[in-house]
């Protein structure tokens, strides 16, 4: 089974491989965005983590179809900080919460 993992984060890829190995799941090929030469910007403007994950997965799916890249599964994620004392904020806005010039 070939999985396109919608990430360039090596740590996430290694963690996924470790999980698969620990669960004795074999015959899985994981390719990353780098492996499929995906370098398009994806605007993740969803209101939830799930929406942003779907936006990313659909963009990767479109790219794969356009470039005749075969796969059985596209796996994506989205993450952020949800702080109880800030009523769950910044949530999906974590990367932009501190403003445009934040480091």
> With contact defined as beta carbons under 8 Å apart, do 42 and 96 qualify?
no
SS3 of residue 72 by DSSP: coil
> With contact defined as beta carbons under 8 Å apart, do 60 and 70 qualify?
no
Rounded Cα–Cα distance for residues 69 and 44 (Å): 23
Is position 35 annotated as part of the catalytic site?
Answer: no
Residues with catalytic roles? 78
């Amino acid at each position: 089974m070939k999985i396109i993992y919608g990430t360039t984060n090596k740590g996430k890829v290694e963690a996924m491989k470790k999980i698969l190995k620990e669960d004795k799941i074999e015959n899985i090929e994981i390719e990353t965005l780098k492996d499929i030469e995906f370098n398009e910007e994806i605007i993740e403007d969803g209101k939830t983590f799930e929406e942003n994950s779907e936006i990313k997965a659909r963009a990767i799916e479109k790219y794969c179809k356009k470039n005749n890249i075969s796969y059985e599964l596209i796996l994506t994620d989205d993450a952020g900080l949800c702080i109880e004392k800030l009523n769950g904020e910044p949530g999906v806005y974590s990367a932009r919460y501190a403003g445009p010039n934040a480091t």
